[in-house]
Structure 1
Amino acid sequence: MDSNEAGIKVRQLAEEINKHDYNYYVLDSPVISDREYDLMKRELEKLEKEYPQLVTPDSPTQRVGGKPLETFTSVSHAVPMLSLDNAFNENELLDFVRRAKNLSGVSNLEYVVEPKMDGLAVSLLYQDGGLVRGATRGDGQVGEDITHNLRTIKSIPLKLKERVDLEVRGEVYFPRKAFQDLNDRRAEQGEPLFANPRNAAAGSMRQLDPAVAASRPLNIYIYGMGSFEGFPLKNHLEMLNYLKSLGLRVNPHTAVYTDFEEVIQACKDWSLKRYELPYEIDGMVIKINDLKIQAQVGYTTRSPRWAVAFKFPAEQVETTVEDIQVSVGRTGALTPIALLTPVKVSGSVIKRASLHNQDILREKGVKIGDRVIIHKAGEVIPELVKVLKEKRTGQEKDFIMPENCPACGQEVTLIPGEVALRCLNSTCPVQMYERIVHFASRGAMDIEGLGPAAARLLLENGLVEDVADLYYLNKERLMSLDRMGEKSASKLLEALEVSKNNPLSKLLNGLGSRFLGGKGSRVIAEHFKSLDRIISASVEEMISIPEIGPKIAASVFEFFKNPANLKVVEKLRSTGVNFKQVQEQGKAQEQLFEGQAFVLTGKLQNHSRQEAQNLIEGLGGRVTSSVSRSTNYVVVGENPGSKLEQARSLEITILTEEQLQQMASSEK
């Protein structure tokens, strides 16, 4: 076969494969078997390998390609990607339609209603029908170039059915089943779980290596265009049909109404039917259908006046407190947990809800056996709203916080100025498990293969008693464990050996002194240069360091005055772990939160406010005091107040304290 014949065959195969991709991923209606498809793809790959000059950017073989990026580049949106105003009840929906009628002077408006996907908003730029760039929404004006990851989503055509120039907007999401499968695999491998499909989708799209995104079955729905100029379109529904004709995936549950009462009813109906969908939605989007009227009604500085998002109310469900147990955290804090009769809330089964501390427990008056109302605060955190005291039968039992640690039996202590009871036993097995997980985490010693499951396995089999024992492991002992083969054991030992060369700041963070996070560890390590100097430093010397306050200084000082901690230090020294602050390698790798803005609100349980801030800033993020459109994440604790509502109204990702820690240690 000469190059001309090969060129013809390559084009035929590419067109045929693109057609079958459209049938499978967009229409969900395959017409050939997987084997036939694979043989066709293999033939194309073989020809392109023989004739590399025939490879084009829109070839089906180019879904994943190229080396991982070193960093993301910024993209300015020609037409801003604005957020939508939210309506939380029927009256606010009626306010929206009254304003729209007043601004347009039209009393008989048509409305398009479509599901509000709970994913990541993106833009796709096509030139001459080919995909040339994809970006996140960012702050609406400037986003990040994520073309390399968007190309891996098979429902996004690399080439449209017409050779047109246009920019479209859509929502990348994780199907429910795919999300559950992903978390199941992560659990089996001992990796922290993703909090929800939205976070998983956003995290997947912010990978520097496209192979990671390609391994995750993401999908997309296109919901509009950046600009309509040059396109003879009259209304939004016509636009969606046109985009569909180009090969783009459009949500089939979009409908048009002329009676706004029908719009309201559709929102109510979908509030009940949403869990029947194979993906998560958190509301419905209502848009004026006529594009000319859209332009006439216009925009505010942050949102279109011709559209509104109706947010589904937080679902409240009644269940029973079957028991109350106490968990012990890494710092020894005791947290009461309500064990509930399993009940489905906002699409997931809830079995547990934190009661935070003994003060909250008393304030809410929770008893074992109580009927209670629960919901998901911010659609994320299981929360016990209230006790239905009128339903008590007299069989309910009071619960009193224990005087001794449920894990090790040592007497617990209430430290002055704090609300949580604490176990101060440094050898407490539960605390040791949490400390090992923290020690191995990405922001600390970054020991690949040593996740929660592996840490538990090591402790349960008596292979380690403290973090220093990790460096005394050998292959034979590791291979004696269930689910630990030769390959896994070798990889773990190799990762441990590599971690010995980490800079002092990582070791200091990994040792886990209270209130000390990644940034504080770097500041202290840079100042003293060696662990021995830190151990011998006084509180006054530490306080003299800019950015180190008395709370952190006292905590570090007390940590290294504890004989048990000093014993661990000496064991680490004998294994050859680095105690010096050397130039940090792979700095870009650890800047997981670079360019990301966080807001902290409410009382955190396992971190002080300063410790949480240190964690975020140590990974390249920044902490601000107020919620705005430039905020990327809001971390919520107990009694979060108005900032939580602001985050919801601006569609900002909401994290629990635990989810923040998971992101810090697992986002790769």
Structure 2
Amino acid sequence: MDNKAVEALTEAEAKAELAQLAGALAQANILYHGQDAPGISDSEYDALKQRNALIEARFPKLKRPDSPSEQVGAAPSEGFAKVTHVVRMLSLSNAFDGDDIIEFDERIRRYLGLGDVAPLEYTAEPKIDGLSLSLRYEAGKLIHAATRGDGAVGENVTTNARTIAERVAEGRKLPDIPLLIDGAPDVLEVRGEVYMSHADFADLNTRQVARSDKQFANPRNAAAGSLRQLDSAVTRRRPLRFFAYAWGELSAPLSDTQMGAIERLNDFGFQINPLTALCDGPAGMLAHYDKIEQLRAALGYDIDGVVYKVNDLSLQGRLGFRSTTPRWAIAHKFPAELAWTHLEAIEIQVGRTGALSPVARLQPVTVGGVVVSNATLHNQDYITGLDSKGQEIRGGKDIREGDWVQVYRAGDVIPKVANVDLSKRPEGSAVYVFPDKCPECGSPAIREDGDAVHRCTGGLICPAQAVEKLKHFVGRAAFDIEGLGAKQVEQFYLDGWVKEPSDIFTLGERFSSGLQQLKNREGWGEKSANKLFQAIEEKRNIPFARVLFSLGIRHVGEQASNLITRNYTSWPALITAMDAAAACEGVEWDNLLGIDGVGDVMARSLVMAFAPGPERDSIDKLTGHLNIEDAEHPDIDGSPVAGKIVVFTGTLEKMTRAEAKARAEALGAKVSGSVSAKTDLLVAGPGAGSKAKKAADLGIETIDEDGWLQLIDGL
């Protein structure tokens, strides 16, 4: 990854690129996790996520609420019952070369305050390319099995997982998943990866051909599709395997080390990867990576890298988690793959914020076992052969319809066009002209100064924006209305039944014959139609944060919605604050910016959405149908800082700032980056400066680091 290129970005360029990355990575997660149909390999996905992380590190104030770094997986399928994970199933941050691993080790040492020579042991294991699965045991008995889903909620696939438990694979005396475990803790959640061996995959496709059924593209798709079958009889015919490598909720510890806990799982009857090893620091980790990479082709199953974890579980506990990844683990990925194919057309897609996104429609090509037919072209500059700084990429070669292009295959996202073969460019091919009008509504498509993206100015009159906003509104993290997904809401929009969110809650009263109309549609019957209307009624009572996120306000994603609602606690309080901020009342504007994680760009977007006009009118019409539940402060028993606003300033000497913030949030505090009249506590180290003075002027309680440690001692 070109760090210098990131350092040269202007703030406007960084903002535009973060928006593009968020859209591409979100779509990728849906394709890979939700539909078991990735278009490309992991490495391109990883490269995009790394690019996103580098830009966020360079411009922390531009981090989007819907940042890919805050996302895990995709929403669970509506075809399965849902399981809420007591302990979230998180993803891993990625490394791509030896320098990244050295930096990972250094970062952990800094966080823990360890010196360069203090011993620090890691485990290293192959990263299986399969589908994550969590198995919950109570009193030694398998109770349920769930996919990762979005990390918080997964799909209940217990019946299908039992088919793995019934099968004894070649070379094993016991199945990979035991139904009963002797000597296990009363509550034991075992986590690992469901996969399919190369030999079993080849046999399966042979049988598929014999039955004139569709062949699978690769073992990962076959394993994921098999585990997520609604008919368990189909799963039973599929030769699935399982490697255990982690755990979730436990009633008692398995060990005091990562390796010890994994070996304990092996004692319980689970298959663990025999290539898991202990390593002393980066040199040992990289040596084991080289060993596994050399063995990769002969393993008999797919891997896409090596995972490193801090071995000492007490240190893992201190390191804790970011929003979606543990600090104590990282995945060292294998390099990307490439392929050449024909670019048949360039099409423009319009998103819910009006962004015009060019997409390359490709002649399908198989890269590393996955069929690729689409590729992102990012924006106008990318097509013309320029990067976000106006510098040449691909040697300045533009991209045209009819070109012979090289694409990356990498991960959960739409691939990217890497190069163009000018020797195969058709004679008379035309330079692609980016549209200046929205292809959906004909409104002007404007590219503002400093923005890399053209945006439709049609707003609510643009059907593409309206439909995408409605799809967002009914999404899992928003209203999540059972029976009303993206496909249904699009059809209702075309029928004229639903044009904006409030219309959903008047369907019953507006269409006395709506039930009959639904019954007459393919896929609908009286029972399913009644169930839909009932589900809509149930969503009239809805948490504050879900309502705010559902509005699809630009730059205000799920994480930001939670931050904002925890600060304002109720919908009326938010409306009052937004009205005051829109009226240029500086106090409310300062309060909004004082929320840790809310920057100027997000704040302006939020205030504009609530300013008088069509968007505010639509919001008010919606909320008139709802009972919006107030946000709750975390209820942390015995925590002296639960629900309080805490600010850290100056130099902390006994823990890093990051560790202090993570600890405060774990105890239910809200950590702010600025001091205001709402601040409850200032923790000031040496060199506190202006924040300490302001706290003193406001009469805010101030303690030093020792006082902070004493306050939270034992918690």
Alignment TM-score, normalising by the size of structure 2: 0.47
Alignment TM-score, normalising by the size of structure 1: 0.50
Structure with more relative contact order (C-alpha pairs < 8 Å, separation 6 or more): 2
